Amino acid sequence: MMKLFYAPGVCSLSPHIVLKESGLPFELVRTDIKAKTTEGGGDYKKTNPLGYVPALGLDDGTILTEGPAIVQYIADKVPEKKLAPANGTLDRYKLQSWLNFVSSELHKGFSPLFNPAMPEAAKQIAKDRLAARFAHLDAHFAKHNYLMGNDFSLPDAYAFTVLRWTAPTKIDLAPYPHIQAFMQRMQARPAVQAAMTAEGLGGDAPR
């Protein structure tokens, strides 16, 4: 059975949601990303030498890392669930474009805000960069329910996961009503609720 190495509320929530959407069986392995241990005290760096989550353990012993690759692997196991367009189509590249946007512009855009060593001025620069990207997303969600259009797909799980971090970083989403509506739409999905409950997250839980 696939094993998802995760920590509550961090970016591993994205593949967790996708696993729930897929309906495939999987095991969760809780990881302490500061101590670099797995539940039971194992050395997590033996699983991922970089010490970060998510990582997906496959039946043949392969460890797949990097969120955007993990979610595509899961989606391609269940094509009938339409979590991603077929490989080789233009829509698949559009989906990869969104995954990369969420990864490098949003996810890593938040990182300075979680770094206690980062000076306040640098945090403000990071917030200003995020604001420009939020405006872009808000305009998108004014016209579309999901990143790929009318239907849920992989980058929505990732965007939902990282946009939740606006709560602990005290970024007000009020200027972005269409992002707020997207977050509510996502939160209403049974797979999202199931993943959040399994991670012990409330509606407004921190990273």
Ligand X SMILES: N[C@@H](CCC(=O)N[C@@H](CS)C(=O)NCC(=O)O)C(=O)O
State the nearest-atom distance from the C-beta of 31 to ligand X, in Å: 8
Of residues 9 and 138, the one with the C-beta less far from ligand X:
9
State the nearest-atom distance from the C-beta of 39 to ligand X, in Å: 15
5 strand-pairing partners: 29, 55
By three-state DSSP, how is residue 127 classified?
helix
Q: What is the 3-state secondary structure (H, E, C) of 34-69?
A: CCCEECCCCEHHHCCCCCCCCEEECCCCCEEECHHH
56 strand-pairing partners: 4, 64
Of residues 62 and 150, the one with the C-beta less far from ligand X:
62
State the nearest-atom distance from the C-beta of 82 to ligand X, in Å: 23
Distance of alpha carbon 133 from alpha carbon 174, whole angstroms: 15
Of residues 70 and 192, the one with the C-beta less far from ligand X:
70
State the nearest-atom distance from the C-beta of 11 to ligand X, in Å: 3
State the nearest-atom distance from the C-beta of 26 to ligand X, in Å: 17
Cβ-contact 66, 52 below 8 angstroms:
no
Of residues 115 and 124, the one with the C-beta less far from ligand X:
115
Of residues 53 and 157, the one with the C-beta less far from ligand X:
53
Length of the chain: 207
Of residues 52 and 182, the one with the C-beta less far from ligand X:
52
State the nearest-atom distance from the C-beta of 139 to ligand X, in Å: 25
Distance of alpha carbon 72 from alpha carbon 127, whole angstroms: 29
10 Å CB burial of residue 33 (0-12, 13-18, 19+) is middle
Cβ-contact 64, 5 below 8 angstroms:
no
The footprint of ligand X (CB under 6 A) covers 10-11, 33, 51-54, 66-67, 103
